[in-house]
Structure 1
Amino acid sequence: MSPKVSQEHKEQRRSNLLKAAREVFSEYGYENTTMKHVMERAGVSRGGLYQYFDNKDDLFEALIESEQVEVIEGSIQAMLNQQGSYWDVLLMSFLGDSKKATNDMDALAPSKLEFFITGRNDESKKEHARKRFSQAYQMTVNIIEEGVKAGEFTPRFDPEVMAKAIISHIDGMAMDHAILDSETIQLKEQTELLMGYLKWGLGVVE
């Protein structure tokens, strides 16, 4: 009789598989990554991987979902307590803890581009893309609206428009970064421009 595996142990195994998958997708890209690559990187058998994920699509969707949930599930109040201002919460939501413009881009960006562009006619992938956009959009709108209530923002545009502009700008840079070299797109400079535009558009009270 096989010993029972605790839920905590299962979650740790799944987390380890996602960590290995992130490394592999970042290294090879979505199209060139295989489930065998992930098995070898994680040091598990075929059964050990397929016990948790049905196929490569399922694995990649779980990976990007898990990374977005880390941000989405954090309450705005908790982020405010940590960051000190709604402006810093907003910057952290798309720049990470450093809240600084750099030439670094999410290593998964090329794989995400391949996944969603090649799957643009796949209803399941389209629905996943819509869900990701909706989550990011709603969180951004909520941050802006809370900043307005706190007297920190006096926006020149509707929060909904500002939120969509942020997401479109970030997604556009990610797409260019996946296709072009960093010197061509000047990621750091464009991000600094976005930050300046947001500060003006939101009417950030210093």
Structure 2
Amino acid sequence: MPKISAERRTERREQILAGARRCFAEHGYEGATVVRLEKATGLSRGAIFNYFPSKEALFVELAVRDSARMSDIWVSEGLEAVVREVMELDPAWLSVYLELFRRVRNDDDFRLRIAVRQKEAAPANRARIEEAQRTGEFRDDLEPKQVGLFVNLVLNGLALQRASGEELPPVELVLALLGDAIGGRARPGTPSRTTA
């Protein structure tokens, strides 16, 4: 059997991921059977599982890639860009992505696999927050971790609203409220930031 070039392997891998994303979005994680994955990718199960050892591995790869893409947007373009991106994501895919949160909560092995893959983005995200605090874009009386947790809370809330089909507030309002919460310098009456 002839060897496949690295370029062709990458193309095939991307084909599988694109088809799997459509399949998960249309049928949900549980409903994305091997037969449906074959149909969505246009490939046999042997071809699919030659690149990914399991359906879960496909799902994890898509989730980690989405997380990395959001992190890249956050780091390179800032908070406004990532808020706009979340508010425009495909609700069908977001519904499946919410399955990730359930699995992380209930499956220790799955949680570990996700944590290992997502750990790579943490330093860049923290550096982006620290830079924003130094320049006055974000308030500097909170720990970077606190700011990150709050931003994640807002982004996850927007994703949940979008996935459930509920109306989202105007993006300008979301950005204004985020600015009120974390924008600018220290606030009077805020407990002092501990330095580590």
Q: Normalising by structure 2, what TM-score?
A: 0.76
Instruction: Give the unaligned 5+ runs of structure 1.
Output: 84-88
Paired position in structure 2 for 1:27: 26
Report the Cα distance in structure 2 between the residues aligned to 1:115 and 1:67, rounded to whole angstroms.
12
Report the Cα distance in structure 1 between the residues aligned to 2:184 and 2:127, rounded to whole angstroms.
16
Matched AA of 2:82: S
Paired position in structure 2 for 1:40: 39
Deviations 1:75-103 (A, max 9, x none): 94xx2xxx5xxxxx22223433xxxx857
Instruction: Give the unaligned 5+ runs of structure 2.
Output: 186-196
Matched AA of 1:31: E
Contact conserved, 2:21 with 2:62, CA < 8 A, in 1? yes
Matched AA of 1:162: V
Q: Normalising by structure 1, what TM-score?
A: 0.73
Contact conserved, 2:98 with 2:160, CA < 8 A, in 1? yes
Report the Cα distance in structure 2 between the residues aligned to 1:196 and 1:136, rounded to whole angstroms.
26
Which has more helix, going by share of residues?
2
Paired position in structure 2 for 1:86: none
Contact conserved, 1:72 with 1:135, CA < 8 A, in 2? no
Aligned residue pair count? 184
Q: 1:133 to 1:161 in 2, by over 3 A?
A: farther
- RMSD (Å) for aligned C-alpha atoms: 3.0
Of 157, 160, 163 in structure 1, the residue corresponding to residue 148 of structure 2 is 163
Contact conserved, 1:25 with 1:111, CA < 8 A, in 2? yes
Shift, 1:6, TM fit = 0.8
Of 158, 161, 165 in structure 2, the residue corresponding to residue 181 of structure 1 is 165
Shift, 1:71, TM fit = 4.6
Matched AA of 1:19: A
